[in-house]
Amino acid sequence: MNNRNGSLALLAGESRRFARFLLSELKPKGKLLTPFNVIAACILCVAAVLLTIRFSQGLSSTTNLSQDFPWGIWIGFDVITGVAFAGGAYVVTFMVYVLRLEQYRPIVRITVLNGFLAYLFYAGALLFDLGRPWNVINPIIGNSFGVSSVMFLVAWHFLLYMITEFIEFSPAVAEWLGWKRVRKALASLTLGAVILGITLSTLHQSGLGALFLMAKTKIHPLWYSEFIPILFFVSSIFAGLSMVILEGSVSQRVFRSQITPHHRASHRGIVLGLARVCAGTMYVYFFLRVLVFIHGQQWTYIATPMGYWYLVEMVVFVLIPVRLYTQAVRFENIPLIRVASVLTLIGIVLNRLNVSVIAFKWYAPEHYIPSWMEIEITMAIIVAELIVLRWVVNRMPILRSLPERPVDGAAHAIESLKEQPQWTTST
């Protein structure tokens, strides 16, 4: 009995030590008064006030949404565009775990983390867009929509994919906490989670496009097509990888102290490899868009204002970036690859907003224009995601390996005590 009491006392002590560890990790690292922190604090404070008004007085108090335009920038950018930007997670994990391209392993964790946070924050932004946020459960249970609706499928794809991405990322959390046995168990689930995640990604990337198949008469013919699901899926590949290239370039500067010399040396080869994939998939995407245009016999729309806007999207933000990617890969020009990635990302934003907002009911006498409050809240979502990303990268083994440290934490105490006789069923 004394042994058992001693074990419980040891467990209590380790639990307190574990709690102190977590509290210490919550403390900010580095300077607080930086330009980014000051700007971020201002954006978040204003957003907090606006969201209080939004939830207390309804959507009309902060948005320009209406019955004619129920989907605005919070759907068109936060969800439709944000999910495309998060596509790099399923592409990179496919390359590493399925194709066994080990040269891309250094960016797996940061890419999966970015994807998970994007889904978490952008899916959470749906609560701002819903007139009755508590009804967010309806698409998941099939209420009002039915289990055969596209909304039901997309909702479940989102939910399951966030779970799989958390499983893929969870070994890093276990390493941070020093849970070696838990880490080993979670690592054994990674391959299954990756395969399930890739399957779900191909479904919901195209599923988001399938949502617009029901709006044939409302979307301009230059952007509507029965192949929207395929176009959304293909574009998510180079959109996600372009975001990985841009984020990787920023991480090399912002988190330079976190990156090992070996990983820093491999950055150039990784960027060149990702640029090749972007160039190849963008050629496929451009070819598909041209086929859809010719098949739909849409020549008559070119000599119109919307036609000129369509040409801007196709030439400036598809044809030029794919050419830049091709030239940059050929001459191994990293700065040019970064320029191409920025143009590509702008093109994806433009395409998704064209489909969901700009070309939606283009014929209406009064069109939807987002209010400054909608834009400010969108900026707050992005800032909040960046803050969480920075916090995680500065503490967990995302871009580096953690040094071995002595056993601490409640989980380690439990694991060690289980090996002792007093943890058997006998007393």
User: Cβ of 319: how many Cβ atoms within 10 Å?
Assistant: 17
pLDDT in tens, 22-38: 777 777 777 888 999 99
Where does the pLDDT of residue 417 fall: very low under 50, low under 70, confident under 90, or very high at 90 and above? Answer: very low
In a domain, 416, yes or no: no
Q: How confident is the model at residue 77 (pLDDT cuts 50, 70, 90)?
A: very high
Query: Can you read off the two tokens belonging to residue 12?
Result: 């209590």
140 part of a folded domain: yes
In 3D space, the residue among 127, 121, 37, 133 whose CA is nearest the CA of residue 86 turns out to be 121
Domain count, the chain: 1
Q: Is the pTM of this model over 0.85?
A: yes
Domain presence at residue 424: no
Mean pLDDT of 390-401: 87
Name, in order, each residue with C-beta under 8 angstroms of 87's C-beta and a sequence gap of 6 or more.
Answer: 115, 201, 205, 236, 237, 239, 240, 241, 243
CB 220 within 8 A of CB 367: no
Within a domain: 225: yes
Cα separation of 25 and 316, whole Å?
A: 45
Residue 24 lies in a domain: no
Please check whether residue 218 lies inside any domain of the structure.
yes
Flag whether 245 is in a domain.
Answer: yes
Is residue 424 pLDDT above 80, yes or no? no
Tens-digit pLDDT profile for residues 185-239: 999 999 999 999 999 988 889 999 999 998 999 999 999 999 999 999 999 999 9
Q: Domain of 185?
A: 31-394
In-domain check, residue 10: no
Tell me the per-residue pLDDT of 350-394, one tens digit each, with 9 for 90 and over: 999 999 999 999 999 889 999 999 999 999 999 999 999 999 999
